[in-house]
């Protein structure tokens, strides 16, 4: 990685806080809020994501962001790339006709959806979120794209919690993460 990219990564890492025992005992929560509060670190995130996309996905059509923190990084990246942005929301949050997918959480089920006309068959998409843990929501977003016959080029996150094996669950889709724990 170039020296400039390495310094940007270090800046990002310095702006990720760890909160032990949140939201429950035994969990080490990685907080990206300081990244958002600091213009230089937020710019570094978008710079590095843009660099990755331009280098690895020159023919992407649209950026797809997951509810809700994917909405923080996806639109600025889409703007930089001259692309549109699509929302993947929790069930019941989008107007009009929607397409949904249900998925398993640790002790329950959840559903995500997109507007029916959000993505066209054959469009090449990149899916973005702030953090990859077990991969359930990201996998559901990939399934939504498959239902709409879009091609998922890859998944991108700011933080990846490797011990939870979310990237393995997303195969064959490639996962790009800026910071790994």
Catalytic residues: 69, 106
Contact in structure between 170 and 142 (CB atoms under 8 Å): yes
Outline where 69-129 has alpha helix (H): 70-81
Cα separations in angstroms, 180 against 76, 151, 157: 22, 26, 10
Q: What is the DSSP letter of 23?
A: S
Task: Kindly state the tokens that stand for 168.
Answer: 């393995």
Cα–Cα distance measured from residue 93 to residue 91, given in angstroms and rounded to the nearest whole number = 6
Closest CA to 17 of 181, 128, 167, 156: 181
Among 156, 180, 153, residue whose Cα is nearest residue 65: 156
Residue found under tokens 């958002």: 36
Cα–Cα distances in angstroms (integers) from residue 94 to residues 89, 98, 115, 133, in the given order: 7, 7, 7, 25
């Amino acid at each position: 990685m170039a020296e400039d990219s390495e310094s940007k990564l270090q800046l990002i890492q310095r702006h990720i806080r760890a909160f032990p025992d949140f939201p429950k005992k035994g969990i080490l929560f990685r907080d990206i809020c300081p990244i958002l509060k600091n213009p230089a670190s937020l710019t570094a995130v978008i710079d590095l994501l843009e660099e990755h996309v331009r280098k690895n996905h020159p023919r992407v059509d649209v950026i797809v962001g997951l509810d809700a923190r994917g909405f923080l990084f996806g639109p600025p990246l889409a703007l930089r790339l001259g692309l549109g942005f699509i929302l993947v929301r929790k069930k019941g949050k989008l107007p009009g006709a929607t397409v949904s997918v249900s998925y398993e959480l640790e002790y329950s089920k959840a559903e995500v959806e997109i507007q029916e006309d959000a993505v066209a068959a054959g469009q090449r998409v990149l899916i973005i979120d702030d953090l990859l843990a077990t991969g359930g929501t990201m996998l559901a977003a990939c399934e939504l794209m498959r239902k709409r016959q879009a091609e998922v080029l890859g998944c991108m996150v700011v933080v990846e919690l490797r011990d939870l094996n979310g990237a393995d669950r997303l195969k064959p889709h490639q996962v790009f993460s800026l910071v790994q724990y």
